[in-house]
Structure 1
């Protein structure tokens, strides 16, 4: 499972953040590891320099093998909260998606 973290110009994407988010993804989605080829995370600050409530956005896209990609979005007041909210959502979506595939 390949993990790619993307940030816009208003979100500081540093190595420690990338390592932390990648480890969180791998740990949380470990049971789906053999079914997913790629995970992409897109982090964005919608208000840029201005502060605002829930202006940080995290989109997580999972690409299951031989299936259409699935994506979720979560908004929060910090990048970390937006990420963890999206991580919870993608975990639920993947569980439902793979459960439907069982005969």
Structure 2
């Protein structure tokens, strides 16, 4: 599973954040690693320097081998919270997708 992290220019500590996010993604999606070819994570601060509510956004696109890509989005007060929320949504979507493949009636 290849993990690609993209951060907006207005995100502070980009290099350290990139490494932390890659480790988090690999850990949370490890049970799917043999079924995913690539995971792209895009994080950004929607309002820049103005801190107003849930302005941190995380978009994750997973590419299961031989299947259509799955994309999820979450917004929160911090990048960590937005990433955690998006990873939770993605894990649920992948469980559903792979569950449909292996749990067909009569097969």
TM range (shorter): over 0.9
Map of 2:94 onto structure 1:
94
Q: In 1, are the aligned partners of 2:38 and 2:64 still within 8 Å (CA)?
A: yes
Q: Which runs of 5+ in 1 are unaligned?
A: none
Q: How far apart are 1:13 and its partner, in Å? A: 4.8
TM-score by length of structure 2 reads 0.90
Q: How far apart are 1:10 and its partner, in Å? A: 1.4
Matched, 1:21 2:21: yes
Tell me the secondary structure at the aligned position of residue 17 of structure 2. Answer: helix
| Greater C-alpha Rg | 2
Map of 1:41 onto structure 2:
41
TM-score by length of structure 1 reads 0.93
Q: How far apart are 1:16 and its partner, in Å? A: 2.3
Matched, 1:2 2:2: yes
Query: In the aligned structure 1, how far is the partner of 2:9 from the partner of 2:48?
Result: 9
Q: Which runs of 5+ in 2 are unaligned?
A: none
- Going from structure 1 to structure 2, the CA distance change for 1:4 and 1:87 (only over 3 Å counts) comes to same
Query: In the aligned structure 1, how far is the partner of 2:5 from the partner of 2:82?
Result: 14
**Aligned residue pairs: how many?**
103
Q: How far apart are 1:94 and its partner, in Å? A: 0.6
Structure 1: which 4+ aligned runs deviate by more than 2 Å?
Answer: 12-16
